[in-house]
Amino acid sequence: MKVKWRQHEMILAAAIFIMICGGYVWNMMHLSPETVNTHYANVFKERHVPFSLYRNVIFPDAIIIVAIYTAYFILNLFTIPRLLFPPKFEAGTSKISVSFSKIKVKGLAKNLIKNYLWLFIQLVLIIFVLGVVFDVATYLRQEWQFHYPGFSIFFNPDNQNSQLSLAAGFFAAIMLIVVYSLYVLLRECIIYFIQVSKQHAYNTLICNKVTGFTLQFVCIPVFLTSFNIIHEANFYLGYLLVIPAIFAMFISNVYWLFPKKGDANFFSRKIIIPLLSTSFVYAIPLVVFVHEEMLIAFIYSWALQLFVVTPLTWWYYKTYEDKILQLRIVEKQLVKSKADIQFLRSQINPHFLFNVLNTLYGAALQENASVTAEGIQKLGDMMRFMLHENNMDFIDMHKEVNYLCDYIALQRLRTQSSADIIIEDNISDADCNHKIAPMLLIPFVENAFKHGISLKEKSWIKIKLECTATDIAFEVRNSMHEKNNNDPEKERSGIGFKNVLERLKLIYPGRFQISVNGDGKEFYVQLSIQP
């Protein structure tokens, strides 16, 4: 499920543009000569300035409408997407910093400069075009003010007559872009926090409900005003106050209050007190435009929220209860189960098993049976850990450490014939009395052996684990080697790495820091967990 705020906004903008254009054409076709003279022509005739409905009214209005919508379209199709989707980074409580070689840094800086320079040029061009359009429209709509000998579009201090203020058009264009930019900033911040929230799908559903409602809510009065169907201001005031209050009650009940009920009675304090409080608050806007008998009007509006809106929202909630509860309560368990299953699949890697078995077979031919037996025993311990301990939510730290040590020992067995491969481990669980999610550390070690070992170049892997009363500090360093262009693993980040980040966010929200760095020669990961 994706947040549809941007899509709904684009649909809303297109709908408003079409309705305004259609309504404008409709109204212009039904203008009487008396209305044209009263609203537009008389001020021209009084100053003996030629008047044309198309030149002085329709054309200026049309170019403003088209220019604003075109600017919006360009911003959302070309400019904003390039700002919103820079090189990806991991969000949340984790802190990930990536270092590059000097050449890569220079190349990245050059690309960033080119990218943002082009964005700046786009904004300047949009502001310039909008400013020109606003000034041209102002001149044509108010040509009667500027139709005199010696008129200049530039300010003339020697001429006290009316002058066209060019700066006003450009200032209006700048303010329009600034206001919309602030709105986009707010929109993207909200979308970001929705995407990184624990209940991503549930919050996304609520956001899509709100933006979908806003789309319909705005379209109705725009349509009515564009075609002059309803003129009464009280109707629009009531619409503006009543409908959002009812929708807020709907969202509050269906997606917040009712899911909290659980097995409790509907008329329990757990439900009744919040229901009375929220309905009281949402009833206030319904009586803002009532000046007489306000108390009675408020009681009626409160009763509307309690005895009409609440039963309807309860019916809606019971109809879609399974889906709502699944997204609100079960989503976290579903995400965790999916992550664990994917993680287990990533760990039971047949290539790794085949490599180990081949190594053990070679060792059996070259060495005594004790080495082979030791390797088989460690492999059995690892398989037993993966099949049993991995099903638990948390395990003792020493079990995770034993698994790490068995894995490193098997890798040493595989690489011991090469003097250019150095494997150092400083793993101590003396003070590790914590519990940890199983198989949380091993992916970083797997990636180190997978990407850090070369049989042709000097290679090294350094692993360090320390525990304190409050923290688990883990560090893995490995050499880096240029991969062949046809290597299918060249662009991959490693086994289970992305999955580990998701598990960290899910299991230790706000209680972990991770840093991933590489300088072209050495790659290292530093992880700190507060279990």
Residue labelled with tokens 């009375």:
276
Share of the chain above pLDDT 70, in %: 75
* Tens digits of residue pLDDT in 85-140: 654 433 333 344 444 344 445 555 666 677 778 888 889 999 999 999 999 999 89
Q: What is the per-residue pLDDT for 381?
A: 67
The SS3 assignment for 104 reads helix
* Comparison of pLDDT for 133 and 150, the residue scoring more: 133
* Tens digits of residue pLDDT in 307-320: 898 999 999 988 88
Q: SS in 3 state form for 481-497?
A: CCCCCCCCCCCCCCCCH
Q: From the CB of residue 7, how many other CB atoms can be counted at a distance below 10 Å?
A: 14
Chain mean pLDDT for the chain: 79
- Determine contact, residues 202/326, Cβ cutoff 8 Å: no
Interhelix angle 200-226/166-196, nearest 10 degrees: 150
For the chain, what are the domain ranges? 31-90+105-196, 238-319, 329-529
Q: What is the per-residue pLDDT for 294?
A: 72
Element at 86 (helix H, strand E)? none
Cα gap 176→130, rounded to integer Å = 9
Q: From the CB of residue 464, how many other CB atoms can be counted at a distance below 10 Å?
A: 16
Binned at pLDDT 50, 70 and 90, residue 144 comes out as confident
* Tens digits of residue pLDDT in 246-292: 999 999 988 888 887 777 777 788 888 889 898 888 888 777 665 56
> Under CATH, which number does the domain 329-529 receive?
3.30.565.10
Q: What is the per-residue pLDDT for 324?
A: 74
* Comparison of pLDDT for 492 and 482, the residue scoring more: 482
Q: What is the per-residue pLDDT for 210?
A: 94
* Tens digits of residue pLDDT in 43-61: 999 888 899 999 999 999 9
Q: What is the per-residue pLDDT for 405?
A: 86
* Comparison of pLDDT for 389 and 83, the residue scoring more: 83
Residue labelled with tokens 């209680």:
511
Q: What is the per-residue pLDDT for 94?
A: 39
pLDDT above 70 for 42: yes
| 194-211 average pLDDT score | 85
Cα gap 399→167, rounded to integer Å = 72
Record the tokens describing residue 86, joined without a space.
């820079």
Task: Name the amino acid, one letter, at 150.
Answer: G
* Tens digits of residue pLDDT in 400-415: 888 888 888 888 877 7
